[in-house]
Amino acid sequence: MEPGQIQELTDEALDAYVLTRLKLAGVDLSVLPLDDADAPADQQRILSSARRFLRSTPAAILAFEMDVQAVPPVMYPSAASVNAGQEG
């Protein structure tokens, strides 16, 4: 998805995009209430926040492709080697 295309998406289309990306990352919003002002988080607030974030995010960040195998120790191998020698 091109950065400029986000501005053209409807809220429903952007919600579908956000939910798909979250699902690929292993996040399931369906365990949260749909809309509950008393809850610490609900689906509507999270999706609203995600839409706001995506529509205002710089293009360089928006174009970032998430690699589920590139967790921080893989992305920063020197940090993993330092931490490997520490005992917890």
Residues 27-72 pLDDT 10s: 999 999 999 999 999 999 999 999 998 888 767 776 777 777 766 6
Are 52 and 61 contacting, i.e. CB atoms less than 8 angstroms apart? no
- Domain range for 26: 3-84
Structure letter (DSSP) for residue 5: G
Region for residue 69 given its phi and psi (left: phi exceeds 0; alpha: psi -120 to 50; beta: otherwise): alpha
> Cα separations (Å) of 79 from 21, 63, 66, 85?
27, 26, 20, 10
**Confidence tier at 88 by pLDDT (50, 70, 90):** very low
Cα–Cα distance for residue pair 82/23, rounded to 1 Å: 32
Cα–Cα distance for residue pair 51/57, rounded to 1 Å: 10
Predicted pLDDT of residue 81:
57
Count of domains in the chain? 1
What does the block give as tokens for 11?
A: 């809220």
